[in-house]
């Protein structure tokens, strides 16, 4: 959000891996469902609902106020990029945990194949259970068939350090 993020869990959090302009544009376009180059409050609400977050009208207005720096009622790609850069100011620790928690739907401390499949498909990224299983196997260092937070952190740290995208989990 803005420089003073609240602790409201209904507000979206910036992501570590959105520093690449192509990845940033791809995520922005997921939000911008009508392709007009800006994110409306309705589009923001739809994405939050797809992620399993129910937001009140007041919360949505607060998010828009925080992100819409030119106060035109929409979030532009530049405003979205500024929001994503903000998340990296503290090294992204809190945002990394929030990203992990988004996938860990049952909050048991691991991301299962079923959870990954559910979240990615809710986001419109059609992938099979087999695809999700392969994604998990690629980062599952302890061989339990799930991704725990430490495995997720290492994967994200390697992606950022190598200048690659986290698309292995997001496609």
pLDDT tens digits along 61-82: 888 888 899 999 999 999 888 8
Angle among Cα 132, 135, 141 to the nearest 5 degrees reads 130
pLDDT of residue 66: 83
Domains of the chain with bracketed CATH: 21-87 (1.10.238.10), 93-161 (1.10.238.10)
The reply to whether the predicted model has a pTM over 0.75 is no
Extract the tokens encoding 143. Answer: 């061989």
Weakly modelled stretches of the chain, pLDDT under 70: 1-20, 51-54, 86-95, 157-171
CA dist., res. 103 & res. 116, Å (int): 6
Give backbone dihedrals phi and psi of 39, rounded to 5 degrees, phi first. -105, 120
| Residue-level length of the chain | 171
């Amino acid at each position: 959000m803005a420089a003073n993020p609240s602790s409201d869990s209904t507000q979206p959090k910036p992501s570590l891996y959105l520093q690449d302009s192509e990845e940033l544009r791809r995520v922005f376009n997921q939000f911008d469902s009508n392709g007009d180059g800006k994110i409306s409050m309705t589009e923001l609400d739809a994405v939050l609902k797809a992620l399993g977050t129910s937001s009140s009208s007041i919360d949505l207005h607060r998010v828009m106020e925080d992100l819409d720096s030119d106060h035109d009622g929409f979030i532009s790609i530049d405003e979205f990029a500024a929001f994503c850069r903000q998340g990296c100011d503290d090294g992204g620790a809190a945002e990394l945990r929030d990203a992990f928690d988004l996938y860990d739907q049952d909050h048991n401390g691991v991301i299962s194949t079923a959870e990954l499949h559910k979240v990615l498909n809710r986001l419109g990224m059609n992938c099979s259970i087999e695809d999700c299983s392969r994604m998990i196997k690629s980062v599952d260092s302890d061989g339990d068939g799930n991704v725990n937070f430490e495995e997720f952190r290492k994967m994200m740290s390697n992606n950022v350090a190598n200048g690659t995208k986290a698309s292995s989990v997001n496609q």
